[in-house]
Amino acid sequence: MEAIELAIKIVKILAERRKTLASAESCTGGFISSTITDIPGASKVFLGGIVTYSSEIKRKLLLINDDIFLQGVISREMAIAMANSVRNVFSSDYGVSTTGNLGPEPMEEKPVGLIYIGVNSEEITLSRELHLSGNREENKKLATLEALKLILEVIA
């Protein structure tokens, strides 16, 4: 299924249930937000997104605790913290986040293509680890696609 098809389903389900979503994106650079807002009616369910590319912004805007940074910016713990935090910042029902290494070189001793996705609600938190092998653009698109799949999994 393509990203746009997933986004249509997400917007429809959230609208039917009168639920909302917010995003905190690092490595996807706003692709999730862009894909969702391409759908007519998204304004009823998508409250907003933050591209938190730097650690400083993760600390300032998402109020990520220093203990999480000890696990690494590229970690499951960071993705979960970002999803939870953005949900709180926007007072949304669901939060989604991405963090990872698009390359061209290893970062934090973690390989290029390692990406973590987090989706959070009051009831459930899920995360996914990806090992992608494409170039930066391909990995952004694949990570966005996987994030949309995880959102759908949580809200369905």
Q: Residue 20 maps to which CATH number?
A: 3.90.950.20
**Statement: the pTM of the whole predicted model exceeds 0.85:** yes
Q: What is the DSSP letter of 25?
A: E
Which pLDDT score, from 0 to 100, does residue 1 have? 79
Query: Considering its fold, how many domains does the chain have in total?
Result: 1
Which pLDDT score, from 0 to 100, does residue 65 have? 94
Spell out the residues 6+ positions from residue 152 whose beta carbon is closer than 8 angstroms to its own.
6, 9, 10, 13
Which pLDDT score, from 0 to 100, does residue 92 have? 98
Which pLDDT score, from 0 to 100, does residue 145 have? 98
**Sign of CA pseudo-dihedral 34, 22, 50, 90:** positive
Report mean pLDDT in 10-residue bins for the chain, 156 residues: 96 98 98 98 98 95 95 97 98 98 90 97 97 95 98 96
Beta bridge partners of 95: 22, 120
Which pLDDT score, from 0 to 100, does residue 24 have? 98
Which pLDDT score, from 0 to 100, does residue 44 have? 98
Task: Give the residue numbers spanning the domain of 57.
Answer: 3-155
Which alpha helices (H) appear in 91-135, and where do they start and end? Answer: none
